[in-house]
Amino acid sequence: MGAPGGPGDLYRFRFGPEERARKARVWRVLCERFFQRLVPERGVVLDVGCGFGEFLNHVRAARRIGLDLDPGAKAHLAEGVEFHEASALDLGHFPESLADLIFCSNLLEHLPSKAEVDRFLAMARRALRPGGALLVLGPNIRCTKGAYWDFWDHHVPLTEKSLAEAMHLAELEVDLSIARFLPYTTKGAMPQHPLLVRLYLAVPLAWRIFGAQFLVRGVRRP
């Protein structure tokens, strides 16, 4: 458990134990029914801003690495998941061409400026193997509008199009771009019951109605 005011304290204030448990159940289905197909099972996966392992705990890969500023995150990661306590902007400390997939969920909007987003993307490209991919899930300001600012630690407003431009500058080639994928937050319209999550994923038309988070993938070409 992090100290009050320290890394992770705002997350714990925002999402209590019951909410975090619901998130874990939702993410289990998201990974089984959608994200696993984008994860190389024999490769190395690095989750930047891994939180309590909502993604890493539920995907299969030969090596799973979590990076988070909150030291308390380690206790929530599954057996076999490596943990590094560090900022997303410390990604440059990892070896070059380490990962087959770098994943980040609801991370980039928390960086202090566009310059730091550019820096992160450059470091992510360096850490990817040729042919590896950076997969980014995050709130789309075009869809969330004013609600984007309901979270105190949101700084950089993004859309799938602006992120694609930033990835282009970082020499990452976008090969997947979904403007509306998941609802904005599990506190809102996101279905909670596993059967409802499965149904939501199976009906892309529902994404266009309820989705407010983009999903963008950029590939490091050889």
Residue range 145-159: average pLDDT? Answer: 93
C-alpha–C-alpha distance, residues 203 and 206, integer Å: 6
**Radius of gyration of the chain measured on its C-alpha atoms:** 16
Q: Is residue 1 part of a domain?
A: no
pLDDT at 13: 52
Q: What percent of the chain has pLDDT over 90?
A: 81
Other CB atoms within 10 Å distance of the CB of residue 126: 16
Other CB atoms within 10 Å distance of the CB of residue 88: 21
Find the domain containing 140 and state its range: 9-219
Q: Is residue 4 part of a domain?
A: no
In three-state secondary structure terms, 5 is coil
Is the pLDDT confidence value at 191 over 50?
A: yes
Is the pLDDT confidence value at 12 over 80?
A: no
Is the pLDDT confidence value at 22 over 90?
A: no
Q: Is residue 192 part of a domain?
A: yes
Give the chain's domain count: 1
C-alpha–C-alpha distance, residues 77 and 131, integer Å: 27
Each as own residue / partner, the long-range contacts of residues 83-89 (CB below 8 Å, 24 or more positions apart, any chain) are: 83/50, 88/48, 88/49, 88/120, 89/116, 89/119, 89/120, 89/123
Q: Where are the beta strands (DSSP E) in 22-145?
A: 44-48, 63-68, 81-85, 99-105, 128-139
Q: Is residue 148 part of a domain?
A: yes
pLDDT at 2: 42
Q: Give which of 115, 123, 54 is closest to 87, Cα–Cα.
A: 123
pLDDT band, very low/low/confident/very high, at 145 (cuts 50, 70, 90): confident
pLDDT band, very low/low/confident/very high, at 23 (cuts 50, 70, 90): confident
C-alpha–C-alpha distance, residues 72 and 152, integer Å: 21
Is the pLDDT confidence value at 215 over 90?
A: yes
| CATH code, 126 | 3.40.50.150
pLDDT digit string (tens) for 79-122? 999 999 999 999 999 999 999 999 999 999 999 999 999 999 99
pLDDT at 123: 98
pLDDT at 18: 64
Chain centre to alpha carbon of residue 200:
19
